[in-house]
Structure 1
Amino acid sequence: MKKCHIAYLACTAALIGTGLGAAPSVADHTVHVVHPGQSIQKAVDAAEPGDTVLLTYGTYHQSVDVSTPGLTLRGVGRGTVLEPAAGASTGSTAPSTGSGAAKDSKGSKGSKQTKAATSCAASGSGICVVGTKDQNVDGVTIAGLTVSGFAKNGVYATEADGLTVRHVTAVKNGVWGIATEHSVHGVFHDNTARDNGDAGLFLANTIKEEQGATDTEGTVVEHNRLEGNRIGVTVRRLRNLTLAGNRVTGNCAGIFVVGDENKPKAGFVTVRENRIERNNKSCPKTARLDALQGSGIVLTGAEDSLVTRNVIKDNVGKSPLSGGIVLFKSFVGTTSERNRISDNLLRGNSPDLVNTDTGKGNTFEGNSCRSSKPAGLC
């Protein structure tokens, strides 16, 4: 494998010579190859829809904005690492919602883009996929790399349609490992999010505004590994989304599906076939949420969701939200309704099933468990 990797890079170097370059590829798309010490943003700005920007092995001390539709930004594996530049922003401002690939009035990629290229770094994030309210950025893929140590987020996307994030390792970022808002048709698979300040994966309708839940139109979160975060996965004020086959362990809480008083409510979320174990890290209370420890799956303020065929073990804590699967009335008083909790295997949680919600139509059936609050749910 090592020889193949070296041979691949050697062939790439032969195609492009020395320095930043581009090699023609199939279907008239171009592969732009970047080496450590060169500008990722420069390659992204030069790319056309459908092109690939390939980052070779090594560490890149920079951030990058992507708003070219159909672009693939890809490394060669975990050894392709993006870290903050020296003296980078502390992330005190929100991620940019402008277009990092806008053309100037003459149609060339000029000074506007150079200015936009700093927006992701200024926001404290590593990779930003940015569309606008009037025009989503479609079909972007981020793959095969590590984003580490950013003040806010490893990967952040807004106004994205069909974003794919795969084989990305997001580690020790200050807020979220991988995060999206205002986005649809997302695919997040085979990623690792570890030791991030808040959620490893965070998906929301909008971060800063009050708004009803939005339809993700079938976003899928599958086969990811989420470890040591405050929350493994947070789904906030969204509908029509699936979380499947993820491994979630060592967080303060595993999976949160969160709604509030806004309409429409959060819901129609499927949580299936995940393995959720020992999420017993202790996290203090925040302005929005009680202290966390020992929570497997929590539904709060959600409706019409299905939690099924999950393996949930040894989640133990002293938080009001502790337990294997927990239905909890939201902190603004919104109940969860018509959720189905079925055919899950629960062992060693404290307790296995919890329903402190007064909402109507929630059902518990076919679960293999030994303890519940109130009694009788197993």
Structure 2
Amino acid sequence: MKKCHIAYLACTAALLGTGLGAAPPVAGHTVHVVRPGESIQKAVDAAQPGDTVLLTFGTYHESVQVNTPGLTLRGMGRATVIEPDPSVATSTATGTTSAGGRARKAANSCAADGNGICVVGTKDRIVKGVTVASLTVTGFTRTGVFSTATDGLTVRNVTAVKNGVWGIATERSVRGVFRHNTARDNGDAGLFLANTIKEEQGATDTGGTVVEHNRLEGNRIGVTVRRLRDLTVARNHLTGNCAAVFVVGDENKPKAGLVTVRENRIERNNKSCPKTARLAALQGSGIVLTGAEDSLVTRNVIKDNAGTSPLSGGIVLFKSFVGTTSDRNRITGNVLRNNSPADLINTDTGKGNTFEGNSCRESKPAGLC
């Protein structure tokens, strides 16, 4: 393994020194190096399964769509920046772009939909084993990094900042890993994970998707888990959002649930966000479970979240807005301080929810601490 790593570094160093567009194969795979002013999409389209597209420092003005299994798209850290092309206006309604006053078909649906990086499979062709890493994606009208129909997608060390809707979002996908990312000041959720975005259907099993060690700050919601099962949200730091963590279900079957939310640090999520067509105004929400079942919320530190929304408070169990109850959820071993209107709140009429071993001072109804 060490020899492979050394060979990879030597190959990359040689490539950067010579200015060639692709490195010799290492263990059967090729490194395609892209510099500012060159096309990322062209390198991605030329890559084979298992190849790496390596972006050097600098700013790139384009959207990138990945359909190749096993591909790694990697920058060199936060100073590798992907932004929209300012010379191209995108219409999500028509799927066309215009440049210099002339309309033309969008190069890919990623750009047409206002996204930065898209990893896109289909119902009949799931894209497996893609990695997006070590770069910044910012300023897109919809999502920084979006994925659909993927298996084993890894998004790590990505900074998603000031995108119009979501920082990083995924749907119809399984076994994802979202680790060591920063999502800040995005219009809706920093990290958004759903069964499907545009259709109504029951919760789907993610096969153990993991969201951990991320920093989520200044978004409407830090992490939203919508209509999913078998997923872990762990060891994240969430601050300055309107709400930190939402686990959301509805009347569809199967119900959302089997979600573990553990060992997160959740503090001062007191940004104020107005109501939307789907959700009440938000402020001061730590962890909210609504319409979810058989989930575990444990060993989180939740402090100084305060607001007057129906969803405000440290940990809140809330009967969903479509009337679906939360059932058999366990709230145990959490540390809660100075959350308002209370540290623990249960306004749900569901059955089998338990509150045990939490360190807190005030609950509604009384007696949960």
Fold shared, TM-score > 0.5 on shorter chain: yes
Distance 1:241 1:27, change over 3 A: same
Aligned runs of 1:363-378 on 2, under 5 Å?
363-378=354-369
| 2:13 pairs with 1:13 | no
What's the counterpart of residue 347 of structure 1?
337
Aligned-pair CA distance for 1:26: 2.2
Q: Following TM superposition, by how much is the alpha carbon of 1:18 offset from its aligned partner in structure 2, in angstroms?
A: 3.2
Q: The residue matched to 1:28 in structure 2 has which SS?
A: coil
Task: Please point out which of 137, 140, 145 is paired with 2:135.
Answer: 145
Say whether residues 1:292 and 2:295 are aligned partners: no
Corresponding position of 1:55: 55
> Within 5 Å, which residues of 2 pair with 1:1-378?
11-14=14-17, 17-18=18-19, 21-89=21-89, 92-93=92-93, 117-350=107-340, 351-378=342-369
1:91 deviation in Å?
6.1
What is the identity, as a one-letter code, of the residue corresponding to 2:64? V
Query: Given residue 366 of structure 1, which amino acid in structure 2 is its aligned partner?
Result: G
Q: Distance in 2 between matches of 1:51 and 1:8?
A: 13
SS of the aligned residue for 2:361 comes to coil
Query: Cα offset for 1:119?
Result: 1.6
Question: What is aligned with 1:4?
Answer: none
Q: Are the aligned partners of 1:293 and 1:318 in contact in 2 as well (CA < 8 Å)?
A: yes
Are the structure 2 counterparts of residues 117 and 27 from structure 1 closer, same or farther at C-alpha, using a change threshold of 3 Å? farther
- Cα distance in structure 2, aligned partners of 1:37 and 1:339: 52
C-alpha distance 145-164 of structure 1, shift in aligned 2 (>3 A):
same
Aligned-pair distance for 1:198?
0.1
Amino acid at match of 1:230: R
Secondary structure of the structure 2 residue equivalent to 1:177: strand
SS at match of 2:23: strand
Cα distance in structure 2, aligned partners of 1:89 and 1:269? 40
When residues 94 and 289 of structure 1 are mapped into structure 2, their CA distance, relative to the original with a 3 A threshold, is farther
Aligned pairs, how many? 353
Structure 2 letter corresponding to 1:233: V
Determine helix, strand or coil for the equivalent of 2:110: helix
* Mapped contact 2:240–2:271 kept (Cα < 8 A): yes
Cα distance in 2 between the residues matched to 1:42 and 1:121 = 14
Percent sequence identity over aligned pairs: 79
Give, in angstroms, the shift of residue 9 of structure 1: 7.2
TM-score normalized with structure 2 length? 0.93
Query: Which one-letter code corresponds to 1:73 in the other structure?
Result: L
For residues 95 and 359 of structure 1, what CA distance do their matches in structure 2 show? 44
**TM-score using structure 1 length:** 0.90
Gaps of 5+ in 2: 1-9, 97-103
Could you say if the C-alpha distance between residues 161 and 256 of structure 1 is closer, same or farther in structure 2, counting changes exceeding 3 Å? same
Does 340-349 or 87-96 show the bigger shift? Answer: 87-96
Kindly tell me: are residues 91 and 138 of structure 1, through their superposed partners in 2, closer, same or farther at Cα, counting changes over 3 Å?
Answer: farther
Residue 26 of structure 1 aligns to a residue whose secondary structure is coil
